[in-house]
Structures are given as structure tokens and as C-alpha cells.
Amino acid sequence: MRQTLAIFRKDLLIEWRTASRTVALMSFAFIVLLILSFAIGAESSALQLHAAAYIWIAVLLSSTLLLDRSFRVEVEAGALHSLLLGPVRPAALFFGKALANFVQLLFLGTITIPLVIVLCDATFQGQVWVMAVALILGTAGLAAPGTLYAAMIARLQGRQLMLPLLLFPLIVPVLVAAVKATSLAMLGDPMNQAEAWLVLLLCFNLIYWCLAGVLFGRVIES
């Protein structure tokens, strides 16, 4: 646990000290939202109907940039090999980095929601807690497999292209469930379907985090 917290703290400190990268990531998410809103046009009903999907598209596309740099510092500085030779357990390295990526994705999603509300004139007709839980579980579902794949391709050329090719097909169930739960929170949930989608999200999170934690040692040492 101490090693996990140390890795987690280290990654967040690096991001805090290089705030320009976080600003660039937020700007990218904002540009994605602008493009989507322009593509739909000025029809407010269509924008409101698809507002939940816009949130997760922006988070998903931005996550590839965030996850790509997850291991970049260690690889470029040659520190990854030193970490593996040291007393740091692979599981601690994975969970520390995955938790740091989760916190950053959660922050990005939290910033994206008010932007979507402004751009799409969206409102919350359902329960706000559903939105909060969907955001937490959805970003966690992106962070675990994203961290695993980022480690897998960290030493390869063209990793910026390979990461979305590997990650996007795997997280389709998480994306669908997150969009559905978020949409029900924004548009209303008269049939009480949101809890079922949240349970599905939780199940995928348990699978992804457990499986990625087990596989990470083999991936990082290969």
C-alpha cells in the first residue's frame, strides 16, 4: 500500500508541476465539444438529447493523450527499468499509476460537465447522484485498461496511434453504460433504469481492475 501511494503521489506531483499539460488537455476536451456542437447545429433539442454522449466522447478522446504520457517520463528518463529492478512490486506500480490516471480523468470529466451544460443548454431532470456515480465508475473503467495498455506500448514507436486502436474496442461496454447512466441523469429516469446501468459499470470495473492488476507484471516485464 505504501508503494502504491508513493507512485500515486509522484504522478500527481509531476502533473501539478507541469500544469501546462493539464491546461492543454482541458483545451483539447473543450475543442472536441465545440466541434461536436457545431456538427449538430443550432437545434437545442438535438444538443440536449446527445449531451451525455458528448461528455464521454470528450473524456474518451482526451484520455488517450493523458494515458499516453503515463509512462513517458519513466521511459524517456530510463527510470522504468530502475523501478522494475528495485523493490517496487508491479502491482503497486500499476495501481499507483491507474489511481493517478483515474483522478485526472475524474477531474477532466468534472470540468467537462459544465462546459456541456453551457454549450448544449442541458439540464438535470434526473438525480444528480447518478451523474456523480456514473462519472466515477466511467472514468475508473477507462483508467484501469488504459494504464495497462499504456505500459504495454510504452517502449514502442507510434504508441499515440496504437493506444486508441487497442483501448477503444475494449472499453465499449463501459462507454455505453456510462453514456446511458449519464443520459438518464440529465434527461430523467421515469422507469428507474439508471441503477442497472451503474451496477453494470461496477461489474466491468471489478473485472478490469482485477484482471489488469494481475496481467500488469507480465506486460511490464516483457
Q: What is the pTM for the complete model shown?
A: 0.88
Q: How far apart are CA 142 and CA 151, in angstroms?
A: 14
Residue 100 has pLDDT above 70, yes or no: yes
| Mean pLDDT of the 27-48 span | 81
More confidently predicted of 152 and 14: 152
Residue 178 has pLDDT above 70, yes or no: yes
| Mean pLDDT of the 149-160 span | 76
Q: At what angle do helices 90-120 and 51-68 cross, to 10 degrees?
A: 140
Tell me, what's the pLDDT at 93? 82
Q: Identify the residue whose cell numbers are 502533473.
A: 15
pLDDT digits (tens, 9 = 90+) for 68-82: 777 777 676 566 666
Residue 83 has pLDDT above 70, yes or no: no
Q: How far apart are CA 213 and CA 91, in angstroms?
A: 6
pLDDT digits (tens, 9 = 90+) for 188-197: 877 888 899 9
Nearest to 119 by CA among 54, 206, 199: 54
Tell me, what's the pLDDT at 136? 95
Tell me, what's the pLDDT at 60? 92
Tell me, what's the pLDDT at 81? 64
Q: How far apart are CA 125 and CA 141, in angstroms?
A: 25
Residue 207 has pLDDT above 80, yes or no: yes
Residue 63 has pLDDT above 80, yes or no: yes
Structural domain of 25: 2-221
Q: How many residues does the chain have?
A: 222
Question: No. of H helices and E strands in the chain?
Answer: 11, 0
49-87: b (≥16 Cβ within 10 Å) or e = bbbbbbbbbbbbebbbebbbbbbeebbeeeebeebeeee
Q: How many domains does the chain have?
A: 1
| Mean pLDDT of the 99-106 span | 92
Q: Give percent above pLDDT 90 in the chain.
A: 27
Residue 85 has pLDDT above 70, yes or no: no
Tell me, what's the pLDDT at 8? 80
Residue 121 DSSP SS3:
coil
| Mean pLDDT of the 140-150 span | 90
Q: How far apart are CA 130 and CA 133, in angstroms?
A: 5
